Chain A
Amino acid sequence: MAYTAHTNKQAETSDELRARIPGWGADLDPKDRPSVPRLKFDPQASGAHWDFPERQKEKWPRERSIEHKFLTPVFGTSSPPKGLSGMLRKYAYARFSEGRAAHWLILLAADRVDAIESHLASFATGRPDNPITETGIRTEFRRSGFPTRFAPGRVDRAHTWIDPILVAGPWILAAGSTAAVARAVLRRSS
């Protein structure tokens, strides 16, 4: 009990726990655990055989945080910036530090723009985006997916309805506005 100096919080003794749970207490000594102490100076331990790594070739101007002194010697090369989303991303990196909300909000906005740009671009390729296969919704029916949503106790049912709106909303908006534009064009030309 918290209101007196002693409390009996353990239902089982350590010996009982050791007998019941394989490995109980194998790491009992708080000082003898792999991440203790937090900082353990040992530059040899990692296997690195360099002071500073050789530099990877920069094949396109690599966007970087202005909190870095220079481009890190090694970096990922997935998905170079392109289009409007790419311009937004480059601006967010060049202008705002990680400490600024604007940095992250612009990057998030760029992600939404990227998705729209990419969906539109996909229609000009042999493989347009397919919301049925790409959302994996078939698993609702192929595995015992859908029924398991109704297990008692699940609290996520309160907001599951938002997901289809988030996923399908932009498609419906796009289809709606395309139809509206088409209608306007037709009306004018008739």
Chain B
Amino acid sequence: MKAMVYRGPYKVRVEEKDIPPIEHPNDAIVRVSLAAICGSDLHLYHGMMPDTRVGMTFGHEFIGVVEDVGSSVQNLKRGDRVMVPFNVYCGSCWYCARGLYSNCHNVNPNATAVGGIYGYSHTCGGYDGGQAEYVRVPFADVGPALIPEWMDDEDAVLLTDALSTGYFGAQLGDIVEGDTVVVFGAGPVGLFAAKSSWLMGAGRVIVIDHLDYRLEKARTFASAETYNFSEYDDIVVHLKKITDYLGADVVIDAVGAEADGNFLQHVTAAKFKLQGGSPIALNWAIDSVRKGGTVSVMGAYGPMFSAVKFGDAMNKGLTLRMNQCPVKRQWPRLFEHIRNGYLKPSDIVTHRIPLEHIAEGYHMFSSKLDGCIKTLIVPGS
């Protein structure tokens, strides 16, 4: 089969690999029909995530058709069209029994601090991912779900990560009616978080980025008020001004480890890997939220230390909430919202490219070229 393969920082290519075998009785092998590149993949691509091995296939956002199932699989059969949450999880450990699917303890030998994620380095379990023609899906009776007849494939693939994560991010903000919500980052996660904030009753939704084309999308897709931080000497002061010097009730970090806007922070983290991640957006979040407010962190950071302004968070009495998204927990409600027409996730897709061109897909998304917001990968096209 053809699969995307990591060749070292900034380098990927398509290689011929064996179709993955069944390794466990509850495995399924899925033929991928549509995959996506996620902002999280960029942290791997740039070599920021420890134990990212040459030869690994990335990709944790994908849908496909069941090709084969292990002997204990009861809920799926060959030919089923399935959407697969980005989390690999067992469904039965202490965490899974309580709905913390992204924190499963039975699937990642390499680290206890993070659960299993498809195609996301050995630090997240060493699973090959879905930017390939076939992928191994462990715990087939737990993770995957049948794609409803009425759902578009492009909506389904975005439900496996970006949409569910944005929606989860808004939930962790504990938004109450009338709240002012600031979202840092107008990528897929930020756009969905902004849109979801309205569903939870926000009174005002503000999105911050430095890419005008993405802020334009935040206005049209997410009905948000937007500011380009590069136009302000100090975006935190600007946010204070426009919230009557109170600050926002809730701030969502949808940027993560490669945040820009401060040369030193960005370069030490993203280029030279001296920090787990560049905490620029996170520090702006801590500074621009009101005292007693909530910061919801969806942006991903590496396992090493980052220069976070913890003292301010403490003195301000903030609530900091964060996690990898337990994707499937969001689905029943999100299916309803899509069906009701409240959410149309595929509106943010800008590029659809064949697997063979994936190196260009990574370069374009990484450098934010050609108006790129979300790129889908179509194997076998």
Q: Which positions in A face B, CB cutoff 8 Å?
A: 1-3, 7-12, 14, 17, 20-28, 30, 33-36, 38-43, 45-54, 56-57, 62-65, 67-68, 71-79, 85, 89, 93, 98, 101, 104-105, 107-108, 110-112, 114-115, 117-119, 122, 129-131, 133-140, 142-146, 148-149, 151-156, 158-160, 162-163, 166-167
Contacts and interface: CB of A to CB of B under 8 A. Distances in A.
A10 B204 contact: yes
Interface in B358-375: 358-364, 367-371
A163 B266 CA distance: 13
Nearest to B52: A111
A155 B343 CA distance: 31
Interface stretch (B146-154, B184-192, B312-320, B328-336): B328-336
A47 B91 contact: yes
Interface string B102-133: 00011111111100100000110111100000
Contacts of B204: 9-11
5 nearest interchain CB pairs?
Answer: A23-B342, A48-B91, A136-B363, A76-B126, A115-B8
Interface residues of B, number: 120
A145 B369 contact: yes
Q: Among A74, A122, A149, find the residue whose CB has the most chain B CB atoms closer than 10 A.
A: A74
B237 interface: no
Contact of B53 (A1, A56, A111, A142): A111
Given A21-B223, A24-B198, A129-B7, 13 more contacts: A25-B177, A27-B200, A35-B99, A42-B99, A72-B109, A75-B108, A110-B51, A118-B55, A138-B360, A148-B370, A153-B230, A155-B230, A163-B10
Contacts of B53: 78-79, 85, 111, 114
A24 B8 CA distance: 45
A78 B359 contact: no
Contacts of B368: 148, 154, 156
B110 A65 contact: yes
Interface string B125-162: 11110000000001101100000000000000000000
B257 to A, nearest CB: 13
A80 B343 CA distance: 42
Contacts of B198: 17, 21, 23-25
B56 A2 contact: no
Interface string B201-225: 1011000001111000000000100
A138 B10 CA distance: 13
Contacts of B371: 144, 148
